[in-house]
Amino acid sequence: MSSSRFPISLHILTLLNEAKGGVVSSEYLAGSININPVLVRKEIMNLRKHGFVDSKEGKGGGSFLAKNASDINLGDVYKAVRSNHVLGQSKNEPNPKCPVGRQINQHLDSLYSDAENALIDNLSKQTLADFALKFE
Amino acid sequence: MSSSRFPISLHILTLLNEAKGGVVSSEYLAGSININPVLVRKEIMNLRKHGFVDSKEGKGGGSFLAKNASDINLGDVYKAVRSNHVLGQSKNEPNPKCPVGRQINQHLDSLYSDAENALIDNLSKQTLADFALKFE
DNA sequence: ATAACTGTAATAAAAAATATTACAATTTAA
DNA sequence: TTAAATTGTAATATTTTTTATTACAGTTAT
């Protein structure tokens, strides 16, 4: 999925945190992020799957944080939304007849994992609560 | 530009390193990577701009490493190819009437920079020579 | 019962990435 | 000195990915 999943998810979480436990509709969230409500609902589906948020159906429904903002660290949010590696997808198929092409994806993958872990470690230093503090 | 620029560039550099100073055509490179030669030439243009490689026009022409593989570190390669941030482009325009939307891009940017630096630091631990060693 | 939501699928539109074609300019070498 | 191989580069087309839109069944509050 797209490279804007992380910012969208973090935006959603920030708004829900601001709502202080209150329920927020996908319409409202979409309005702040400036994207389509259906995309918000899809992203919320994922955040819910990972236990960050929960939703209430029906009139007056919407979403809300499922845990304390200080218990949501940004590394975990990143892990919840990443689909392909940061450094590039290895879904391209190099020439198996070339000694380099034949092996490169495996080497790239391990390179990616290492680098991505460094990224995640960095993100994990911050919680949603820390991030939200910046908006005051 | 695309998220496969890093793997493509690293693939090119690895092949050029293998050629041990010899000249390699974009046709050959494209064959190993399994992409279009024109895309290879564009990527080489960028690598050349950053001083990693040089090219020779005309018959028997092609590209070759412009510096020692042990002087090319992967963090620098990454910096040469990145166009948008790893964690997502902030080219989306959130609602300026929303207190969160209004500020979020600036906060995301600083978050990205930090995290990206961690990534780059990790990549910088390895040179092209180190990476190429894995192919023996 | 009605209104305001979510959840979800299907489809359409827009944007981005990649491939293709084309050709002038350069260089080698027969 | 001409032909062949190659780069550099632009223009265009195709494919893939992302995003938006539409639609509607199901849920809940009033």
pLDDT at B86 (0 to 100): 66
Set of chain B residues whose Cβ sits within 8 Å of the Cβ of A121: 118
Please tell me the distance in Å from A59's CA to the nearest CA on chain B: 23
pLDDT at A1 (0 to 100): 62
Rounded Cα–Cα distance for residues A105 and A110 (Å): 9
Mean pLDDT calculated for residue range A127-135: 97
Q: Which nucleotides of D are covered by protein (CB under 7 A)?
A: 3-11, 17-23, 26-30
Helix, strand, or coil (residue B57): coil
pLDDT at A108 (0 to 100): 94
More confident residue, A71 or A91: A71
Place A132 in a pLDDT band, splitting at 50, 70 and 90.
very high
**What confidence tens digit (pLDDT) does each residue in B55-104 have?**
999 999 999 999 999 999 999 999 999 876 767 665 788 999 999 999 99
pLDDT at B1 (0 to 100): 63
Q: Does the pLDDT of residue A2 top 90, yes or no?
A: no
CB A132 within 8 A of CB A17: yes
Q: Which nucleotides of C are covered by protein (CB under 7 A)?
A: 3-10, 16-22, 25-29
Q: In sequence order, what are the residues at sequence separation of 6 or more whose Cβ sits closer than 8 angstroms to the Cβ of residue B59? A: none
Nearest CA in chain A to B108: A7
Nearest to A30 by CA among B28, B79, B101, B109: B101
**What confidence tens digit (pLDDT) does each residue in A17-70 have?**
999 999 999 999 999 999 999 999 999 999 999 999 999 999 999 999 999 999
**What confidence tens digit (pLDDT) does each residue in A79-117 have?**
999 876 667 665 788 999 999 999 999 999 999 999 999
Q: How far is CA B127 from CA A61, A107, B13, B117, in A?
A: 53, 14, 11, 17
Q: Over pLDDT 90: what percentage of chain B?
A: 88
Tell me which amino acid residue B7 is: P
Place of tokens 């593989």: B69
Helix, strand, or coil (residue A124): coil
Place B114 in a pLDDT band, splitting at 50, 70 and 90.
very high
Q: Does the pLDDT of residue B129 top 60, yes or no?
A: yes
pLDDT at B89 (0 to 100): 64
pLDDT at A9 (0 to 100): 98
Residues, chain B: 136
Set of chain A residues whose Cβ sits within 8 Å of the Cβ of B103: 134-135
pLDDT at A83 (0 to 100): 78
Please tell me the distance in Å from A98's CA to the nearest CA on chain B: 6
What are the residues facing A103 on neighbouring strands?
none
Residues, chain A: 136
DSSP string for residues in A8-65 = HHHHHHHHHHHTTT--B-HHHHHHHHTS-HHHHHHHHHHHHHTTSEEEE-STT-EEEE
pLDDT at A89 (0 to 100): 63
* Token pair of B36 as six digits: 């279009």
pLDDT at A136 (0 to 100): 82
Mean pLDDT calculated for residue range B21-46: 97
Selecting from B101, B115, B123 the residue whose C-beta is nearest the C-beta of A33 gives B101
pTM of the complete model = 0.93
